[in-house]
């Protein structure tokens, strides 16, 4: 597809959207939205201004900045990393290549956790592998009366989570550097939640799309993708209060195996919940 550069907003939206469609295999709506996001970042304007000024042209400095972002996206770099942020559960989170990009599928974890937090009770909640802090901070924001601990083995990821907590003015989250439960000796919680690595190390998707740019340690987990889930399940009951809940996000075809692991470890009330695409995305049980 022949590509022509232009500095006019209306032409950029039309031509560059089509280029994103062709090169990145995006649908028309997604391609246009991504171009809008890049322009909004460079021009520091909202979407309404952008769409009502199609005749406006970028000045040379703006054009140079926009072109650099546009070319990064053409090379496949995720739009979230280019913009440095991603919306999740109604909140805006900073993201970097040190963290996974929060995805809508994971919002199911938040919904299921919130359903299990009684009103007017101060519960202790643990988020394992917090990354950008999206899960922990979303729960803490929705229920400021809870005490949330969030751990990650990556100090870089924890730095991002700490910055997100400060930007969102959330102060009921404790952030710890920990390889799963390693820094939590003797501690118990009422609920444990995790979106751990669950992709097979040989899965071809790891070298495709956005996954190419995300931290491999936060994605892949052994030959069948379940190594970290096995570790979490094996240790979780020692850190849960009586009748405490464990909830785990997992792959689209792993629900039956995760339920079996939970049952083998002595969890009761084992279940799986489906996401908006009707895929069993989260499984859990009671200690």
pLDDT at 214: 83
Task: Check: CB of residue 38 under 8 Å from CB of residue 69.
Answer: yes
Could you tell me if 208 and 189 are in contact, meaning their C-beta atoms sit under 8 angstroms apart?
no
User: Which pLDDT does position 115 carry in this prediction?
Assistant: 93
Q: What is the CATH number of domain 9-76?
A: 1.10.8
Res 203: pLDDT:
78
Residue 115 token pair: 């359903």
- DSSP element (H, E) containing 94: strand 91-94
The pLDDT assigned to 276 comes to 85
pLDDT of amino acid 2: 46
Helices within 45-93 (DSSP H only) = 47-51, 60-74, 79-83
Does pTM top 0.85 for this prediction? yes
Cα 45 to Cα 49, 117, 119, 230: the distances in Å are: 6, 39, 40, 47
Query: Which H/E stretch holds residue 32?
Result: helix 28-43
Contact 221, 227 (CB under 8 A): yes
Determine the pLDDT at residue 81: 95
DSSP codes of every residue in 174-210: EEEE-STTTT-TT--EEEEEE----B-TT-GGGGSGG
Q: Do domains 9-76 and 86-286 have the same CATH topology?
A: no
pLDDT of residue 208: 79
Residue 286 has what pLDDT? 96
Residues of the chain with pLDDT under 50: 1-3
Phi, psi of 243 (to 5 degrees): 65, 20
Q: Who contacts 198 (Cβ-Cβ below 8 Å, separation ≥6)?
A: 221, 225, 226, 228, 229, 249, 250, 251, 254
The per-residue b/e assignment along 121-159, b for 16 or more CB within 10 angstroms, e otherwise, is: eebbbbbbbbbbbbbbbbbbbbbeebbbbbbbbbeebbe
**CB of 202 closer than 8 Å to CB of 223:** yes
DSSP label of 102? P
**What integer pLDDT is reported at residue 1 of this predicted model?**
45
Q: Between the CA atoms of 120, 126, 132 and 138, what dihedral angle is there, to the nearest 10 degrees? A: -20
Cα gap 158→110, rounded to integer Å = 20
Domain ranges of the chain: 9-76, 86-286
> What count of residues does the chain have?
287
Task: Give the bridge partners for 152, in sequence order.
Answer: 177
Contact 150, 173 (CB under 8 A): yes
pLDDT in tens, 187-242: 999 999 999 998 888 878 777 777 888 888 888 788 898 999 999 999 999 999 99
Does 86-286 carry CATH code 3.40.50.150? yes
Taking the C-alpha atoms of residue 233 and residue 192, their distance in angstroms, rounded to an integer, is 10
If we measure between CA atoms, which residue out of 29, 59, 55, 26 comes closest to residue 42?
Answer: 59
């Amino acid at each position: 597809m022949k590509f022509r550069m232009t500095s006019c907003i209306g032409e950029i939206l039309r031509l560059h959207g089509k280029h994103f469609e062709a090169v990145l295999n995006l649908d028309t709506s997604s391609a246009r939205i991504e171009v809008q996001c890049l322009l909004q970042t460079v021009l520091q304007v909202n979407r309404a201004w952008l769409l009502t000024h199609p005749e406006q042209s970028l000045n040379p400095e703006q054009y140079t900045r926009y072109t650099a972002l546009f070319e990064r996206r053409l090379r496949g770099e995720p739009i979230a990393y280019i913009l440095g942020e991603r919306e999740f559960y109604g909140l805006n989170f900073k993201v970097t290549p040190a963290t996974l990009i929060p995805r809508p599928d994971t919002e199911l974890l938040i919904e299921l956790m919130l359903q299990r937090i009684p009103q007017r009770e101060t519960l202790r909640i643990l988020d394992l592998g917090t990354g950008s802090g999206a899960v922990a901070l979303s729960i803490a924001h929705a229920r400021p009366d809870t005490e949330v601990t969030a751990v990650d083995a990556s100090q870089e990821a924890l730095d991002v989570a700490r910055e997100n907590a400060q930007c969102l003015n959330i102060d009921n989250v404790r952030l710890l550097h920990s390889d799963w439960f390693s820094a939590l000796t003797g501690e118990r919680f009422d609920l444990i939640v995790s979106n751990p690595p669950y992709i097979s190390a040989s899965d071809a998707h790891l070298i495709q799309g956005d996954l190419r740019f995300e931290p491999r340690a936060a994605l892949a987990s052994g030959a069948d993708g379940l190594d970290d889930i096995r570790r979490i399940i094996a240790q979780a009951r020692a850190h849960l209060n009586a009748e405490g809940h464990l909830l785990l996000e997992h792959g689209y075809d792993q629900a039956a195996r995760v339920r079996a692991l939970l049952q083998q470890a002595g969890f009761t009330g084992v279940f799986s919940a489906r996401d908006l695409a009707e895929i069993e995305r989260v499984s859990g049980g009671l200690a």
